[in-house]
Chains A and B, each alone.
Chain A
């Protein structure tokens, strides 16, 4: 049963600290997405990659957020320095194909910045 995995599942950190979230997409999927979900804003696309190349990161605050895919089995999202307003659930999703078809979501990382 192929699944997207994310680590950590929960993270509590103090303002100013670096946070790294990791995602393992489903093997064979060529597209990886990072989303942030809050009650107020709903689901926001932060960045996505196709064949490991970043295609769009316009939803991401560039001064503090960065997203990478060091290899096809790992995607990372970093926040440095973190701020309380970054508190949210961060989801990774993967998909296959050139078009925009179904996405498979990981369980999410719940981030709390105090």
Chain B
């Protein structure tokens, strides 16, 4: 069963705008990760945030984690056409450090 649920399922924006995607999960986690998948490719790890962290930055990416709401958000600032991809969150559950549980992804289209 899926743990993470991304929202929205699809997002279309103009180049230069910011894109925000959300992920909700159900059980306590050790960490939450975001991955990107370009069409026809494998997934690429973007960023990992641990359960005791609230915010993390990497370049144009900003990830927040609210464990009380069991949710995370991924913000891409100043988006580019090359950011067009699907974005997935994955959680490593507390007490079961063996699997990553994946959401169904948000499909982001950045229009030039």
A interface with B by C-beta (< 8 Å): 4, 42-43, 45, 48, 55-56, 91, 93, 98-108
Instruction: Please tell me if the beta carbons of B42 and A106 are within 8 angstroms of each other in the complex.
Output: yes
Interface of B is mostly: strand
Partner of B98, one of A43, A100, A106: A100
A42 adjacent to B105 (CB under 8 Å) = yes
B44 at the interface (CB under 8 A from A): yes
Question: What residues of A have a CB within 8 angstroms of the CB of B104 in the complex?
Answer: 42
Residues of B with C-beta under 8 A to A103:
43, 45, 100
Q: Is there an interface contact between B48 and A55, defined as CB atoms closer than 8 Å?
A: no
A104 CA to B102 CA, complexed, in Å: 15
CA distance A45 to B91 in the complex (A): 13
- Tell me the bound Cα distance from A98 to B45 in angstroms: 18
Instruction: Give Cα distance in the complex from A93 to B100, angstroms.
Output: 12
How many positions in chain B have a CB within 8 Å of any CB in the partner chain? 20
Is residue B31 contacting chain A, with contact meaning CB distance below 8 A? yes
Known contacts A91-B42, A107-B41; 7 additional CB pairs below 8 A are A43-B88, A56-B98, A99-B92, A102-B48, A105-B42, A105-B44, A107-B42
Complex Cα distance, B62 from A37, in Å, reads 27
The yes or no answer to B73 lying at the interface (CB within 8 A) is no
CA distance A48 to B33 in the complex (A): 18
Collect the chain B residues with CB atoms within 8 Å of residue A102's CB: 33, 45, 48
The smallest beta-carbon distance between A46 and chain B, in angstroms, is 11
